[in-house]
Amino acid sequence: MAQRVVITGLGVVSPIGIGIGQFWKSALEGRSGVSAIESFDPFPIEGYRSRVAGRVLHFDPAQFLAPAQAERVDRYAQFALVAAKEAVADSGLRLEMERPHRVGVIVGAGMGGMVMGEREITQLYQQRKPHRVHPNFIPVITLNSASGIVAMQFGAKGPNLTISTACSSSAHAVGQALNCIRNGQADVVIAVGADASITPLVFAGFCSLRALSTRFNDRPASASRPFDRNRDGFVMGEGAGALVLESLSHARRRKARMYAEVAGYAATSEAYHMVIPREDGTEVAATIRLALKDAGIAPSQVDYVNAHATATPIGDAVEIKAIKDVFKSRANRLLINATKSLIGHTLGAAGAIGTIVSALAIETGQIHPTVNYDDPDPACALPGISKSVQERPIRVALMNAFGFGSNNAAVVLKKLSR
């Protein structure tokens, strides 16, 4: 019989707070973590169409990590390790007492070690001294650097995987952690999502793709506006989210606090376009249906949706079409919010942070506001989207995450029946 899986620990590094307490307080207050970018030294910011981002300001790795740890990894992996340490501490697990081959680590990352990557390639071409490339360049920029460093931190010798599917990466990390425990490969999995790609080249690339908001450079806090009529693209963010997943039996044996049960997961490909979703929403709807089927939950049982909602003109409308298709009249009773309105789009971290928000919604019965929802787009408007905190008992939550390359994921959480 497949194991049931629960969430017992949460950790976060975000533009609105480092640590679950500060993050959740800021989210419920509707605080924006989006700010102006002054420059990409030596490039003047005037050369960029978009000039705002959701950055983790004043992050000092020395406050959280030993100097040797901080120096060996890129910014995104620093975020991952800080979030993972908080999640493990929150779970109350004593990993030194666990069988190490029964503890896994699965990380989702979209871009990886871009801070060092850009710096080193720039220096190589400017200085033309190949022998001066940083000796840790390869292990630092490799996408699995975060999963490796997290496993080393905790002595986790079970499955160690990195998933890179752009913006859905860490939703798949959570989903694959669920499957790993269900299938008996591990008792505990630390699932993490992380990205830190607000760098001169990556940011320029997203600008050239015309994916980013450009109308609100003079009003950064107003730039990320999912479902609003005046949305004009997403705001890049950075950060990390981490969750400790355990088998229900393992968590019960140690009398752990349990935020929610991870009940279902689906992964699909639209096989359609590298950037744009199918405009009829049928493939997104199919992903949601598969996740609900995996959870054994009917659409009529869902109370809340943490939407992917990046604030792109096409993407938001497609997601709402899919929600209406799946939930029919129930769509008008769903509570829906967009975490990216607060922190921007954290790329590979988005799914993990969305799952954390969903778990907290189940535990607290509070749905954080969707900020900048000033002029609802008729193509996106549903009664359950609000600029204010909403309160209602949440028994079932759906978290959506969609990535470049026609990649879709959905995760279903439910309140644990005791």
235 and 315 fall within a common domain: no
Closest CA to 258 of 241, 274, 271, 245: 245
236 and 336 fall within a common domain: no
Is the pLDDT at 217 greater than 80? The verdict is: yes
The domain that contains 121 carries what CATH number? 3.40.47.10
Confidence of residue 417 (pLDDT cuts 50, 70, 90): confident
Is the pLDDT at 216 greater than 70? The verdict is: yes
Task: Name the percent of the chain lying above pLDDT 90.
Answer: 95
Look at residue 201 and tell me if it is in a domain: yes
pLDDT of 121-150, one tens digit each? 999 999 999 999 999 999 999 999 999 999
The total of other beta-carbon atoms located within 10 Å of residue 244's CB is 28
Arithmetic mean of pLDDT, 194-210: 96
Structural domain boundaries enclosing 228: 5-253
Question: Integer distance in angstroms from the first to the last C-alpha of the chain?
Answer: 19
Confidence of residue 42 (pLDDT cuts 50, 70, 90): confident
Confidence of residue 418 (pLDDT cuts 50, 70, 90): low
pTM more than 0.95: yes
Is the pLDDT at 312 greater than 70? The verdict is: yes
List strand residue ranges (DSSP E) for 309-406, in order: 335-337, 366-367, 390-391, 396-403
240 and 341 fall within a common domain: no
Work out how many domains the chain is built from and give that number. Answer: 2
pLDDT of 183-200, one tens digit each? 999 999 999 999 999 999
Q: Which of 63-72, 249-258, 279-288 has the lowest mean pLDDT?
A: 63-72
236 and 281 fall within a common domain: no
Look at residue 259 and tell me if it is in a domain: no
Question: Where in the sequence numbering do the catalytic residues fall?
Answer: 167, 308, 345
408 and 291 fall within a common domain: yes
The total of other beta-carbon atoms located within 10 Å of residue 221's CB is 16
Distances (CA, A) of 288 to 179, 265, 268: 17, 9, 10
- b/e sequence 20-58, b meaning 16+ C-beta within 10 Å: beebbebbeebbbbbbebeebeeeebeebbbbbbbbbee
Confidence of residue 67 (pLDDT cuts 50, 70, 90): confident
- Structure token pair of residue 41: 């030294």
Instruction: Specify the pLDDT at position 66.
Output: 87
Cis peptide leading into residue 42 (ω within 30°): yes
Q: 194 in helix, strand or coil? A: strand
pLDDT of 339-369, one tens digit each? 999 999 999 999 999 999 999 999 999 999 9
Q: Are 73 and 149 in contact (CB under 8 A)?
A: yes
